[in-house]
Amino acid sequence: MKRSGFSFLARPQFAALIAVLFINWLLFPGFFDITWQDGRLFGSLIDVLNRGAPVAILAIGMTAVIATKGVDLSVGAVMAISGAVAASLVVGGTASWIAVLAALGIGLACGLWNGMLVTVLDMQPIIATLVLMVAGRGLAQLITEGSIVTFSDPLLIFIGTGSFLGFPMPVVIAFVLLVGSTLAVRRTALGLLIEAVGVNRSAARFAGITSGALLLLVYAFAGFCAAVSGLIVAGDIRGADANNSGLWLELDAILAVVIGGTSLLGGRFSIPMSVLGAMIIQAMNTGILISGFSPEFNLVVKSGVIILILVLQSPLAARLFSRGHARPEPATAPRTTP
């Protein structure tokens, strides 16, 4: 159960990523070529990292939520809100750093709202976050007044398209968030406490863990990550598109987390593995694009991946793979007095 070090290299997900990249290379022999131009790296591989960054960032936030046995359906809508806030502010003449902070603050507030519904009102996460999923895009359109707000603010554009040490900014931001959040959960007690709450909330209560604050934090962080992602997407197209920014990306983020091996039933989680999952998704996207299929064909492949994972994780498969390990008690037996 040791997570640090390089043990993740031995995981099947890593092999899957290699396999997808290898197929891409077969389809497009120049796939692994990386060139240095104008002080930054170029190449298909860099492109995979760059395009995959928004989902990877969402997945970072989503991982902790799912680890607590929750889910956040609103992150796509929060992306739209964050982009809209930043774009409208800079167009209105606000200093760009204030606009960025405001966008991040709004994301945090959205996450806190979700967290409040889950903890204070004790709503099911899927229902609580559905509210913002429905209304959020409307709010984003309200802010942009229905149009795509374009801007030429250098800071926002730098966030979406700039580079640092040769790497595209989205990749750098995703990497910083990955390292930062991994350290934050593993160097403090947060990771263990989140897992404890996800594994057994009742036992967590008996052990003196106050899960309310923990859940608030986790949802707020998911909102924050969504806001970061929203800024990147807005900077990339130099405008805030309230209709399409982050559309369906919440589903990609959930998928990335699931591919990364965090169970939807909560418990053990790994942020790096979720990011790896996001990269697998993006590598498939890119592969489909270079092989000439329409981008929508991607959806078919994605659904295939989900079905495969579901089958592999199902109790049915567990029974097939481990015959002889008879389960002591049927889980569905009616409850009687012990």
> Which residues have CB under 8 Å from 167's CB, separation 6+?
40, 41, 46, 49, 175
Nearer to other proteins, 27 or 199 (CB): 199
Nearer to other proteins, 19 or 307 (CB): 307
Between β-strands 163-164 and 239-240, what pairing exists: parallel, antiparallel or unpaired?
A: unpaired
- Looking at residues 239 to 258 of the shown chain, list those that interact with other proteins (rule: CB under 8 A): 242, 251, 254, 258
The DSSP 8-state label assigned to residue 61 in this structure reads: H
Which among 58-66, 97-105, 152-160, 325-333 is the span making contact with other proteins, rule CB under 8 A?
325-333
- Looking at residues 63 to 82 of the shown chain, list those that interact with other proteins (rule: CB under 8 A): 71
Contact between 169 and 163 under an 8 Å Cβ cutoff? The reply is yes
Tokens of 302: 């994605």
Nearer to other proteins, 165 or 187 (CB): 187
Least distance from other proteins to the Cβ atom of residue 278, Å:
16
Contact between 157 and 233 under an 8 Å Cβ cutoff? The reply is no
Least distance from other proteins to the Cβ atom of residue 290, Å:
17
**Does residue 139 interact with other proteins by CB under 8 A?**
yes
Tokens of 166: 């040769």
**Does residue 310 interact with other proteins by CB under 8 A?**
yes
**CA distance to 19, 47, 247, per residue, from 161 (Å):** 29, 12, 20
Q: Which ranges constitute the DSSP H helices of 145-168?
A: 154-161
Alpha carbon distance 62, 231 (integer Å): 17
**Does residue 323 interact with other proteins by CB under 8 A?**
no
Which among 50-58, 156-164, 275-283, 326-334 is the span making contact with other proteins, rule CB under 8 A?
326-334
Alpha carbon distance 38, 49 (integer Å): 19
Which among 35-43, 101-109, 229-237, 264-272 is the span making contact with other proteins, rule CB under 8 A?
264-272
In this structure, the chain runs to a length of 338
- Looking at residues 149 to 188 of the shown chain, list those that interact with other proteins (rule: CB under 8 A): 187-188
Alpha carbon distance 76, 157 (integer Å): 20
**Does residue 95 interact with other proteins by CB under 8 A?**
no
- Looking at residues 200 to 239 of the shown chain, list those that interact with other proteins (rule: CB under 8 A): 200, 202-210
**Does residue 134 interact with other proteins by CB under 8 A?**
yes
Size of the site for other proteins (CB under 8 A): 76
Nearer to other proteins, 161 or 313 (CB): 313
